Structure 1
Amino acid sequence: MKKLFAVLGDPIGHSMSPLMHNDLFTHYNIDAAYLPFQVKPNDLETAVKGLTSIGVGGFNVTVPHKSAIIPFLDGVDELAKSIGAVNTVVNQDGMLIGYNTDGPGFIKGLEGSVPSLSDQRILIIGAGGAARAIYFTLAKDAPIAVDIANRTVETALQLVEDCPFPIPSKAISLDEANKSLGNYDLIIQTTMIGMYPKVSEQPVDLLNLKKQVLVCDIIYNPLYTQFLQEAKSRGASVQNGIDMFVYQGALAFEKWTGIFPDIQRMKENVLKQLGGANYVNW
């Protein structure tokens, strides 16, 4: 019998996960299907019970359910619990166990671009859910420091205070970030600033950016935001959000099937859906 996997969100029509995972099931000869379900917040508990009753193999969770789903699960791993958000659920013999692969997916995407996180001074721009997942996961790897820059400094400070791992960190304003960009080896833009259709916007200027730095933006529509384009023009290496998206999906697929999938295949499928050309490290 075909195994069911799913993604729950509201809205959900834009999700590229079904194309990505269904292609992988076909590629690895796995008799399974991955379907999108639009679930309103008030219907989340009912949807989880329904998926459990029909023996779902696992499912992803996206906005706005990543935190709200936790009370309806049988267990949550330590990282996801500390982040306070779940994006991947595995059905283990009838028990629904929640994980967060967003942060680990981002870290996997850095492999080959950052020799060792322990040698890095890192700036995260933004203090929302994605920033939280990336920050807590980075903190486990004990870099030299991870600072958080946000429009509302109090929100960044709360994020620093919430981190369960001992790491030198400070909360700073975006103006302070502009002045101190030269202090960082890795800069990670986690806000939606610069996403289509407001493609001309960016969260900070890059006048003080040093050349030997990696600048990441978790946005992938457009593929290369104004923020990344300017960083590239100033001599930085850049990485867009496709790596994080693909690796978080790959880690979910591995939890469901035991197979770590073909990353390049996944990237190419995502780019086709976005209307992009061949994937390149631009």
Structure 2
Amino acid sequence: MPRPISRDTRLCMSLSGRPGNFGTRFQNYLYEALDLDFIYKAFTTRDLPAAIGGIRALGIRGSAVSMPFKEACIPLLDELDASASAIQSVNTIVADDGWLKGYNTDYSAVASLLESRAVPKDIRFALRGSGGMAKAVASAFRDSGYRHGGILARNPETGPALAAGCGYEWLAELGDTRPQMLVNVTPLGMEGGPEADTLAFSREQVEAAQWIFDVVALPVETPLILLARELGKPVITGAEVIVLQAVEQFVLYTGVRPEAELIERAAAYARG
């Protein structure tokens, strides 16, 4: 029987422009499995300062932060962990007695995947995107020792800024360039979005690449990942990123690190 909600139950939440169910299902599964007096709920908002103020005023333990709030929330917080201050992007807020501290668990998740999958350090990659998540991914590549990269972004402000900050080239268009690794950090291919069926890169570009990395987590098999698998390319998926970063959020909220087998069960449940 699930633990009853009481006045002592700790609330955790998420703030996203397009709330999904993965985080809610993942976190609540672990709370119940480990008999922790927590509950998790997803939200969106049109008033970010009021939403962040609510976290502070109501004693909410923590909040995940997704697009488009990862950078906009920073002036509303009291402190940034090194993982967030270095890239000026927050995906997790933890509250202690009204003191709000921002973290970025996306960064550590991507760095961990690059290492565990043994992606060659001398590979040339192109990363599409220049928002908060793109900052985390590009910085993870940089700090993991990847020196040959380009930031593919049409935005004439955020694209060059991200490229310069990470020591990469800015590309308004990919053109005839054929990088060995393609990385999508945009909503292209996202379930429920206006471009859910859109490939982040052309078929020709995917055919020429050696590795494909799509940060979009839902659907698990995005159009880009499906094409890469069809062509026999090794892939890193957003589903892998979302699990790793969610585990670190769970640890920050509760102080408990689940066993690997339990994490796998929670992830399978969350995708169901």
Per the shorter chain, which TM-score range? 0.7 to 0.9
Residue pair 2:218, 2:239 contacting (<8 A) in 1 also: no
CA distance in 1, matches of 2:59, 2:196: 42
Q: Which residue of 2 is the match for residue 87 of structure 1?
A: 91
Structure 2 counterpart of 1:100, from 104, 121, 124: 104
Q: Which residue of 2 is the match for residue 276 of structure 1?
A: none
Tell me if 1:150 matches 2:140.
no
Structure 2 counterpart of 1:255, from 252, 256, 260: 252
The 1:237/1:48 distance shift into structure 2, 3 A limit, reads same
Residue pair 1:211, 1:235 contacting (<8 A) in 2 also: no
Structure 2 counterpart of 1:26, from 21, 32, 39: 32
Matches within 5 A, 1:232-243: 232-243=229-240
* Structure 1 stretch displaced more, 101-110 or 240-249: 101-110
* Partner SS, residue 207 of structure 1: helix
* Partner SS, residue 5 of structure 1: strand
Q: Deviations over 1:20-70 (max 9, x none)?
A: 1111111122111112333322xx333333332332222222333322222
* Partner SS, residue 116 of structure 2: coil
CA distance in 1, matches of 2:221, 2:18: 24
Report the CA distance between 1:205 and its aligned residue.
2.0
Q: Which amino acid aligns with 2:271?
A: L
Q: Which amino acid aligns with 2:91?
A: N
Structure 2 counterpart of 1:135, from 132, 138, 146: 138
Structure 1 counterpart of 2:49, from 41, 45, 49: 45
TM-score, scaled relative to structure 1: 0.80
Report the CA distance between 1:18 and its aligned residue.
1.5
Report the CA distance between 1:208 and its aligned residue.
5.3
Matches within 5 A, 1:161-180: 161-163=164-166, 167=167, 169-176=168-175, 179-180=176-177
CA distance in 2, matches of 1:39, 1:212: 39
Matches within 5 A, 1:191-230: 191-196=186-191, 198-207=195-204, 213-230=210-227
CA distance in 1, matches of 2:196, 2:45: 29
Residue pair 1:211, 1:236 contacting (<8 A) in 2 also: no
Residue pair 1:79, 1:137 contacting (<8 A) in 2 also: no
Size of the alignment, in residue pairs? 260
TM-score, scaled relative to structure 2: 0.82
The 1:152/1:77 distance shift into structure 2, 3 A limit, reads same
CA distance in 2, matches of 1:147, 1:253: 33
Gaps of 5+ in 1: 273-282
Residue pair 2:67, 2:132 contacting (<8 A) in 1 also: no
* Partner SS, residue 251 of structure 2: helix
The 1:50/1:196 distance shift into structure 2, 3 A limit, reads closer
Q: Which amino acid aligns with 2:145?
A: A
CA distance in 2, matches of 1:91, 1:38: 19
Q: Which residue of 1 is the match for residue 3 of structure 2?
A: none
Structure 1 counterpart of 2:11, from 4, 8, 12: 4
Tell me if 1:76 matches 2:80.
yes
CA distance in 2, matches of 1:218, 1:77: 23
CA distance in 2, matches of 1:171, 1:96: 34
Q: Which amino acid aligns with 2:104?
A: N
